[in-house]
A and B are shown apart, each in its own frame.
Chain A
Amino acid sequence: MSTSTVGHAVDERTYAAYSRPLWWRVVMTREFAMIVLLGVVYLWATGNVASFDGPLALYYLFLDIAPILMIALPMTLIIITGEIDLSVASTMGLSSVLVGIFHADLGLSIPAAAVCALAIGTACGALNGVLVGYVGLPSLAVTIGSLALFRGIAGGLLGTEAITDYPEQWTDLAKERLFGPVEGGYSGGWLGPVTEPASYPLVLVPIVVLAVVFGVLLHATSFGRGIYEIGLNEQAAKFSGVDVARTKLLLFAIAGAVSAFAGVYYTLRFGSARGDNAEFLELQVIAAVLLGGVSIFGGRGALPGVLAGVLLIGIVSSALRLEDVSSNVINIVIGVLLVLSVISTSLLAWISGLRVARTKSDHPTKGNQR
């Protein structure tokens, strides 16, 4: 665009676009560290854990972490704005119950039931979004409330029952695989030859599509820049013309929709709609997002790191489970991993803070006065 309307006749300064070479900007990031760590853990697991390199391990791994992978995407965006959504697992449970009821009691086909559940999930998210964005309530309080509310509705609708009767074509689709055979159970691959050693669940296709969409939205659109600005300085974002309330509403509504989709998947994968489906899943999602390098204070983080974070938690728990480690120990390992990751973020911030303090010369800064 033309920018030659104002200025002095002074010769203008020129600026380098970047202060560091490309490799530095790629390698010296939290995301890169996570991906390297993920690679190391994966190699260790394939080398040392019996049957981890088998064709089934990755297939079941992805089948299990699919809901976390999906919900981590909108959760990343929400946490970057400095908010949080604790109600995602409840929305997922509610959506699961609704699919069951719509299908079994109202006689809707699975796609129709899924669309209805998706719409209601979006509305649930939008409710959070209105309360946070337009009413201005803290998301922590709002979504603790809606966590209980949505889970309560789900429990109220089904009680302790489970709806377990679904057409096989749909339950199979949820477990469908892309390449290679799966021992026992299913006939021939959906794609590709039967001899391929590794196999992946079909659900990875929508996940990859969603990941690309969210990645572009966050990292390469004006909307995404607004998300970071809100997290770093909401007031300045407002002054720059970012519609803060609408952005938050949209993000929470999207989180509701994706959670509902995860609920549909979960129902079909286990062939069971229950009021307590996916309980406490929100904690695993948030843990993975933070492990992936997103700051709980908002404004910092990137999607590749989050994906690595989810996969890391998945691989560690899957490998340990195959090693017959008890689930308590797995929880301890993951908990320690998470705490270490949070400490490492603060440590990095502290170190770069020292660097900045050193390069900064003399000017009044409110922050470092005593």
Chain B
Amino acid sequence: MAEAASGHPPILELSEVAKSFGPVLALRSGRLEVGPGSIHALVGENGAGKSTLVKVIAGVYRRDGGGFRFRGADVDFGSTGESKNAGIAVIYQEPTLFPDLSVTENIFMGRQPTRSGRRIDYPAMYAEAERIFGRLGVAIDPRRIADGLSIADQQIIEIAKAISLDATLLVMDEPTAALSSVEAERLFTIARALRDEGRAVVFISHRLEEVFGLCDTVTVMRDGAYVGTRAIAETSTDEVVSLMVGREVADLFPKAEAAIGDVVLEVDGLTAAGEFHDIGLTVRAGEIVGLAGLVGAGRSEIARAVFGVDGYDAGSVRMNGVPVPPRSPRASIRAGMALVPEDRRQQGLVIDQSVARNVSAAIRGRLTTLGLLLGRAENRVAAPWAGRLEVKTSALDMDASTMSGGNQQKVAIAKWLATEPKLLIIDEPTRGIDVGTKSEVHRLLSDLAGRGMAVLMISSELQEVLGMADRVYVVCEGRITAELGRDEATPDAVMHAATHVGGHLAGATHADEKVLA
């Protein structure tokens, strides 16, 4: 690429792009101008039209109207192949690699270098892969198979693919949603290197701190339309947020003081070989307890074992002093527990079933008359809960799969609130939720605690933990390494405990061990 400095004509110019699906106008007037050597953030709430815009760029959708110029020429991609050939690469949140092929074969899939007789030139391929990895500064063995790579590494394979194609524009669609902060930082380093090579990067994220840390320009979308573009240096988080939601956002963490009551959940010495060890924790009525730590520290596994989806080898779980039998979600629900799992689409709800059936799924047993379960009873329970969470759907018999991701999340949460639990375990309460809804969820959690519910919240977002929790347990490599009160829980203290299981803390077993930064 000749143009490396900014000030050059933009690589990508989209203006007044529109796309509708039947009667639904997903994109009214999308606008995006990205210059070479720039990392450009694209932000907006769920449903703002970001993904549709990306799919137009990628050639998945053909736009209905508007202008689309790439590297100075009008283009109209009819397939992903055309956009790829033109030099556009899209890296999705969860890449789809061929798990049984080597990393290198994945990078060169469909265009392997050949020697005479159409034989694949493996040495050349490996050498090229090694060269790209070196450039990206990552240590991945080009000969290893793709199966078992972390999501972060899979994204890097996709980026390597883009570089081998010499893509001039890389679009990253929420790449950090499933990454730990260390992995995300590595991705940012790579993104900066790509920028410095003169490529253009479009970065989509819900995390504004990432946008402000990484990007130089930000374009905000709302309701399928362009709202504005700002240079990062000349704007603030507050301004971007208010552009996104179209109004001033109330305090993101509306934590209300709640009267803290008796112990509701008591976990003692819970151990599952290879997953977590000697976990002890308590949650009281009216209390929000955070379970902090890095992705993969074993927090979700602990929650699953407590709820009975998975078994455990030793230890006990008590609700209000009564032991809860292991391996039985049904018994846990009866004892007053609810678990909103991390993967709502796979575990939290049945995507191909109606809203009414999903919301009433965990309390069906209570809705029967003479053993019979009628649709009317399900609707009666589902309607108020869907309403309280402001689920957007035309009717209660619509399948969850017809709804947007944010609304599916709401259905999954409504389903568990409908059980009127004494203890709500919620795994990553705001993952994949846009800013406006985020504070709604936080307000809801605070509200629930205020009414005497015990809440155990697993979160990888430090701000969320610090903003919402009365008490924080920090989990590192399957052990609780710290218990911090609201006053002691500083970002430093939590991060220190989350990353330091070794050293003098290797034998730490008790919840009341404290680590200070």
In the complex, what residues of A have CB within 8 A of residue B451's CB?
Answer: 5-6
Known: A232-B353, A236-B349, A369-B92. A363 touches B47 (CB 8 A): yes
B44 to chain A, nearest CB (A): 10
Q: Are B396 and A236 neighbours in the complex by a CB distance under 8 Å?
A: no
Task: Check A7 for interface membership: any CB of B closer than 8 A.
Answer: yes
A251 to chain B, nearest CB (A): 18
Q: Are A229 and B396 neighbours in the complex by a CB distance under 8 Å?
A: no
B203 to chain A, nearest CB (A): 15
Main secondary structure of the interface of A (DSSP, over half): loop
Task: Check B24 for interface membership: any CB of A closer than 8 A.
Answer: yes
- Residue from A1, A8, A299 in contact with B352 in the complex, judged by beta carbons closer than 8 Å: A299
B158 to chain A, nearest CB (A): 12
A79 to chain B, nearest CB (A): 16
Task: Check A269 for interface membership: any CB of B closer than 8 A.
Answer: no
Q: Which of A315-370 contact B (CB under 8 A)?
A: 355-366, 368-370
A318 to chain B, nearest CB (A): 36
Q: Are B80 and A370 neighbours in the complex by a CB distance under 8 Å?
A: yes
- Residue from B26, B333, B448 in contact with A361 in the complex, judged by beta carbons closer than 8 Å: B26
Known: A233-B346, A362-B50. A16 touches B394 (CB 8 A): yes
Give the residue name and chain of the B residue nearest to A11 (CB).
B387
- Residue from A224, A241, A362, A370 in contact with B333 in the complex, judged by beta carbons closer than 8 Å: A241
- Residue from A15, A360, A366 in contact with B387 in the complex, judged by beta carbons closer than 8 Å: A15
Q: Are A222 and B351 neighbours in the complex by a CB distance under 8 Å?
A: no
In the complex, what residues of B have CB within 8 A of residue A233's CB?
Answer: 346, 350-352
Alpha-carbon distance between A239 and B345 when the two chains are bound, in angstroms: 12
Q: Are B379 and A19 neighbours in the complex by a CB distance under 8 Å?
A: no
Q: Are A13 and B21 neighbours in the complex by a CB distance under 8 Å?
A: no
A348 to chain B, nearest CB (A): 14
- Residue from B51, B349, B396 in contact with A363 in the complex, judged by beta carbons closer than 8 Å: B51
Give the contact-size bracket for chain B: 35 or more
In the complex, what residues of A have CB within 8 A of residue B313's CB?
Answer: none
Known: A7-B388, A222-B365, A233-B346. A238 touches B447 (CB 8 A): no
Q: Are A363 and B397 neighbours in the complex by a CB distance under 8 Å?
A: no
Q: Which of B386-436 contact A (CB under 8 A)?
A: 386-388, 390-391, 393-398, 401-402, 404-406, 415, 417-418, 420, 432
In the complex, what residues of B have CB within 8 A of residue A239's CB?
Answer: 307, 309, 329, 339, 341, 347-348
Known: A18-B397, A235-B346, A362-B224. A6 touches B388 (CB 8 A): yes
Q: Are B386 and A361 neighbours in the complex by a CB distance under 8 Å?
A: no
Task: Check A208 for interface membership: any CB of B closer than 8 A.
Answer: no
B292 to chain A, nearest CB (A): 23
B461 to chain A, nearest CB (A): 19
Task: Check B135 for interface membership: any CB of A closer than 8 A.
Answer: no
Q: Considering only CB atoms and an 8 Å cut-off, how many residues of chain A contact the other chain?
A: 53
Which of B5-13, B116-124, B282-290, B369-377 contacts the other chain? B369-377
Alpha-carbon distance between A223 and B287 when the two chains are bound, in angstroms: 35
Alpha-carbon distance between A299 and B401 when the two chains are bound, in angstroms: 14
In the complex, what residues of A have CB within 8 A of residue B394's CB?
Answer: 15-16, 19
Q: Are A19 and B397 neighbours in the complex by a CB distance under 8 Å?
A: yes
Alpha-carbon distance between A216 and B257 when the two chains are bound, in angstroms: 49
Task: Check B49 for interface membership: any CB of A closer than 8 A.
Answer: yes
Give the residue name and chain of the B residue nearest to A370 (CB).
B80
Task: Check A200 for interface membership: any CB of B closer than 8 A.
Answer: no
- Residue from B80, B364, B386, B401 in contact with A225 in the complex, judged by beta carbons closer than 8 Å: B364
Q: Are B346 and A236 neighbours in the complex by a CB distance under 8 Å?
A: yes
Q: Are B371 and A221 neighbours in the complex by a CB distance under 8 Å?
A: yes
In the complex, what residues of B have CB within 8 A of residue A160's CB?
Answer: none
0/1 per residue, A215-248, Cβ < 8 Å to B? 0100011101110110011011111111100000
Q: Are B406 and A236 neighbours in the complex by a CB distance under 8 Å?
A: no
Known: A6-B451, A14-B383. A364 touches B51 (CB 8 A): yes
Q: Are B395 and A18 neighbours in the complex by a CB distance under 8 Å?
A: yes
Q: A220-B373, A368-B60 are in contact. List 14 more A-B contacts (CB 8 A).
A: A3-B384, A8-B388, A13-B390, A13-B391, A14-B387, A17-B379, A216-B372, A220-B372, A222-B365, A236-B349, A243-B328, A356-B402, A359-B402, A361-B24
**Subset of 10 A-B contacts with CB under 8 Å:** A8-B443, A10-B390, A16-B394, A18-B396, A18-B397, A220-B373, A221-B371, A239-B339, A360-B24, A370-B58
Q: Top 7 A-B pairs ranked by shortest CB distance?
A: A19-B395, A12-B387, A358-B22, A362-B52, A363-B404, A241-B330, A222-B364
Give chain A's interface residues, CB within 8 Å of chain B. Answer: 1, 3-8, 10, 12-20, 216, 220-222, 224-226, 228-229, 232-233, 235-243, 299, 355-366, 368-370
